Amino acid sequence: MDRSDEASRSQRAETRVPDPALVLRIVNRDELALAEVYDRYGSLVYAVALRVLRDGPAAEEVLQDTFHRLWSIAARFDPARGSLPAWLAVTARHRAIDYLRQRRPAGESEAVAVEIHLPFDLEEQISRNGLMDHVRGALGRLPDAQRNLVELAYFQGMTHTELARSTGEPLGTVKTRLRAALASLRKELAEILRPSKK
């Protein structure tokens, strides 16, 4: 808020070990590095799982499972190509939806294929909290019907056929609304996504 806050935040940013360095330490089986990543992003992963599952104990299971997954595949995670918080969030969402639908977790190849192309300084944006406000703003500006569909699709893991059944709308309308919503989001979030292009 004031200058002293800003100064302490920038000092914190300087002393913070970057995510890729932590991933490398995890590759070297450093349990403290995993603990540090957990301290950094555990609340984010838990929030995603809780949002999907709406059940504390189930979300705790997904939380633990997501970080265990990172521990298991760290050597295959490419920090230069993917953002760690984005990978964790997407993995948590996949696992939570699998849990919700009582499916077995996705196979290794599919999970590893999740390389999220975002700006490399995403971790810094998260720590500033500006990114989340930006995304929430973009979602909030969607028309209600579109936003509801995106949230149902994203956090309940419904396919477009299931969405049509759930909302009582024709399949074509559901698809059109979803595409319009995603096009708006792409436009709104372009300035965040653009620096990721190499």
Partner 1 sequence: MNEHLQFAEDLDLLAFGLLEPPETAALRAHLELCAECRARFEEAQGIAALISLSTPAAQPPAHVRAALLERISAESARPGHSAAPAHDAAAPRPSPKSQNFWTRPFLGWAVAAAAILIGLAVTIPQNRRSQDELAALRSQVAAKQDELDRTRAVLDLLRSTDALRVHLVSSTAPWPWPEGKVYYQPKNGLLFVASHLPPLDPGKAYQLWLVPESGNPASAGIFEPDAKGNAMLMSHKAPMPMKPRTFAVTIEPEGGAPGPTGPQVMVGEQ
Closest-CA residue to 173 (of 190, 161, 156): 161
Minimal distance in Å, beta carbon 177 to partner 1? 12
Nearer to partner 1, 8 or 28 (CB): 28
Smallest distance, partner 1 to C-beta of residue 103, A: 12
* HSE-up (13 A, CA, CB side) for residue 14: 6
Of 7 and 28, nearer to partner 1 (C-beta) is: 28
Nearest residue to 189 (alpha-carbon basis) of 149, 155, 142, 151: 142
Question: What is the residue type of 151?
Answer: E
Which residue number, 6 or 78, has a Cβ lying nearer to partner 1? 78
H-helix segments, the chain: 3-15, 19-27, 31-53, 56-73, 84-100, 108-112, 122-128, 130-140, 144-156, 160-167, 171-188, 190-193
Are 137 and 26 in contact, with CB atoms under 8 Å apart? no
User: Which residue, 11 or 19, has its beta carbon nearer to partner 1?
Assistant: 19
Least gap, CB of 53 to partner 1 (angstroms): 12
Distance CA 186, CA 71 (A): 32
Residue 44 beta carbon to partner 1: minimum distance, rounded to whole angstroms? 6
* Of 2 and 140, CB closest to partner 1: 140
Nearest to 101 by CA among 145, 62, 151, 63: 62
Q: Largest alpha-carbon pair distance within the chain? A: 55
Q: How far is the CB of 104 from partner 1 (least distance, A)?
A: 15
Closest distance to partner 1 from the beta carbon of 173 (Å): 14
Task: Pick between residue 13 and residue 116 the one whose CB is nearest to partner 1.
Answer: 116
